[in-house]
């Protein structure tokens, strides 16, 4: 029986993690969980699973919930997330938080000798070096939940790591893959949120539409699998059937395929090296799909993909600034404050304008994050087009 602490329980990955737990009550149990402000969804979860420790964003929600669930201990805020991550009595932290807020709980869990199943991609984007150092120091493991990284992780099983030549990360191209840059000028939030293949949270769906998400995934892959940026390629593949591939020194390419269902990478992160049954509504049926398509990504069409390689190679505070500027710009677009293409302007400008600084510890990351947020907010205020 694996005891889980689940952060971000009411989000898209959180809800699907709970479904994996529901399918395997004999294998997984929820020791503690966190939610943001979706209290009604949280109550549904607590009515089904009697979880002993829960963190919510706001103090007043924590107090009100304690009235309804007197057996449960409630925490709140970022500090509460760290309290859950530092608990003794669990096996794996499932980090399904969105944004830089996910970084500290990952580090805290590792420092308290816990393995982490990671869906929060910003953790490795901003602080991959610090996380890898902590994993080494404390002897813990990090299991990827992102579908691309889970695919790569699966393709690496049973082979010698030293025989690996390159990683091939597939990309659907998001909601706007058929639109020209001219057509992107006045796309709406609703259009951006309609991803053709995957049902995901709002932030990541927007990140997919401008391929910031794919850029993040290149950076994540660099840290997870210790592969140079020169040996990580992105391949457009609109069907999202091949979740990623690896090429070995003999040019043999191994791919992982499956229906676009995040519960598979979630479950594999928790079941590795074993595999468990997984009930799927529509398992992969290649005959039904018929054709698979591939093409090279156009970095002029998707400049944030190229920017991620650049920021990743430069390192230091650049990835942290990029991530923070993107968090602010992504949110501003979703709130209707800026047009879609301005997300790119803000993120690119922040990366180029930020003075380079080395990142030696968490404080340097926080500083990079604040710089990126401040810069983006200045651009959003100063150039409010709507
Ligand atoms: Mg992904």
217 Cα: distance to centroid of ligand 1 (angstroms): 7
Of 284, 198, 153, nearest to 13 by C-alpha is: 198
Measured distance CA(383)–CA(297) in Å, rounded = 30
Helix axes 122-138, 318-334, angle to 10 degrees: 140
Scanning 12-121, the segments in alpha helix (DSSP H) are 12-23, 39-48, 59-68, 77-85, 103-111
Distance 317 CA to ligand 1 centre (A): 23
Q: How far is the CA of 162 from the centre of ligand 1 (A)?
A: 25
How far is it, in rounded angstroms, from Cα 2 to Cα 125? Answer: 28
What is the distance in A from the centroid of ligand 1 to the CA of 62?
A: 32
Rg (CA), the chain: 20
- The Å distance, Cα 262 to ligand 1 centre, comes to 9
Measured in angstroms, how far is the CA atom of residue 211 from the centroid of ligand 1? 11
Report which DSSP code applies to 295: B
Q: How far apart are the CA of 88 and the centre of ligand 1, in A?
A: 31
- Ligand 1 center from residue 61 Cα (angstroms): 32
Q: Give distance in angstroms: CA of 331 to centre of ligand 1.
A: 19
pLDDT, residue 195, reads 82
Distance CA 224, CA 134 (A): 13
Mean pLDDT in order along the chain per 10 residues (386 residues) = 97 97 97 97 97 97 97 97 97 97 98 98 96 98 97 98 97 90 91 85 92 97 98 97 98 97 97 95 95 94 96 98 98 96 98 97 98 97 62
DSSP strands (E only) in the chain: 2-7, 28-34, 53-56, 73-76, 92-95, 115-118, 142-144, 164-171, 232-236, 242-248, 253-257
Distance (angstroms) between ligand 1 centre and the Cα of 118 equals 12
Give the per-residue pLDDT at 386: 42
Tell me the residue ranges of DSSP E strands in 211-368: 232-236, 242-248, 253-257
Distance 146 CA to ligand 1 centre (A): 5
Structural tokens at position 217: 């995934």
For residue 172, how far is its CA from the centre of ligand 1 (angstroms)?
Answer: 10
User: What is the whole-number distance in angstroms between the Cα of residue 338 and the centre of ligand 1?
Assistant: 25
Flag whether the pTM goes above 0.85.
yes
Domain coordinates in residue numbering, the chain? 2-144, 146-309, 315-386
Q: Which fold has domain 315-386?
A: Rna Polymerase Sigma Factor; Chain: A (1.10.1740)
Q: How far is the CA of 148 from the centre of ligand 1 (A)?
A: 5
User: What was the pLDDT predicted at 69?
Assistant: 97
Domains 2-144 and 315-386 share a fold: no
Long-range contacts of 98-104 (CB under 8 A, 24+ apart): 98/8, 98/11, 98/122, 98/201, 98/203, 98/204, 99/203, 99/327, 100/126, 100/320, 100/323, 100/324, 100/327, 100/365, 100/369, 102/7, 102/8, 103/127, 103/362, 103/365, 104/78, 104/362
Which pLDDT score is estimated for 189? Answer: 93
| CATH homologous superfamily of 2-144 | NAD(P)-binding Rossmann-like Domain (3.40.50.720)
Q: Is 239 exposed, middle or buried (0-12, 13-18, 19+ CB in 10 A)?
A: middle
Contact 218, 232 (CB under 8 A): yes
Look at residue 198 in the predicted model and tell me its pLDDT: 80
* CA of residue 295 to ligand 1 center, whole Å: 18
Buried b (16+ CB within 10 A) or exposed e, 81-92: bbbbbebeebeb
List CB contacts of 283: < 8 A, sequence separation 6 or more. 258, 259
């Amino acid at each position: 029986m694996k005891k889980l602490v689940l952060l971000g329980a009411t989000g898209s990955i959180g809800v699907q993690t709970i479904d994996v737990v529901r399918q395997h009550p004999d294998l997984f149990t929820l020791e503690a969980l966190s939610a943001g402000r979706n209290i009604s969804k949280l109550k549904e979860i607590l009515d089904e699973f009697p979880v002993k420790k829960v963190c919510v964003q706001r103090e007043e929600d924590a107090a009100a919930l304690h009235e309804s669930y007197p057996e449960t201990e409630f925490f709140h805020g970022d500090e509460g997330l760290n309290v859950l991550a530092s608990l003794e009595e669990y096996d794996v932290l499932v980090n399904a938080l969105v944004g830089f807020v996910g970084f500290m709980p990952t580090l805290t869990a590792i420092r308290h000798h816990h393995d982490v199943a990671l869906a929060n991609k910003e953790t490795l984007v901003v602080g991959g070096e610090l996380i890898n150092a902590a994993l080494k120091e404390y002897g813990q493991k990090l299991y990827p939940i992102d579908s691309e990284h889970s695919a790569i992780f699966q393709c690496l099983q049973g082979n010698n790591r030293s025989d690996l030549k390159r990683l091939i990360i597939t990309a659907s191209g998001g909601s706007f893959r058929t639109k020209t840059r001219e057509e992107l000028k006045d796309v709406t939030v609703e259009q951006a949120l309609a991803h053709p293949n995957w049902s995901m949270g709002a932030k990541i769906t927007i990140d997919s539409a401008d391929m910031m998400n794919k850029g993040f995934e290149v950076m994540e892959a660099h840290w997870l699998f210790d592969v140079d940026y020169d040996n990580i390629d992105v391949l457009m593949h609109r069907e999202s059937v091949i979740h990623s591939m690896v090429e070995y020194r003999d040019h043999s390419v191994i791919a992982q395929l499956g229906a676009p269902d995040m519960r598979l990478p979630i479950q594999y992160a928790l079941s590795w090296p074993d595999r468990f049954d997984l009930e799927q509504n529509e398992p992969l049926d290649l005959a039904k799909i018929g054709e698979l398509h591939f093409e090279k990504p156009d970095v002029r069409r998707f400049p944030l993909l190229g920017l991620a390689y650049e920021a990743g190679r430069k390192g230091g505070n650049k990835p942290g600034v990029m991530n923070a500027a993107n968090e602010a710009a992504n949110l501003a677009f979703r709130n209707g404050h800026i047009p879609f293409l301005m997300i790119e302007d803000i993120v690119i400008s922040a990366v180029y304008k930020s003075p380079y600084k080395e990142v030696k510890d968490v404080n340097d990351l926080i500083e990079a994050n604040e710089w990126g947020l401040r810069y983006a907010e200045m651009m959003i205020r100063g150039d409010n087009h709507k």
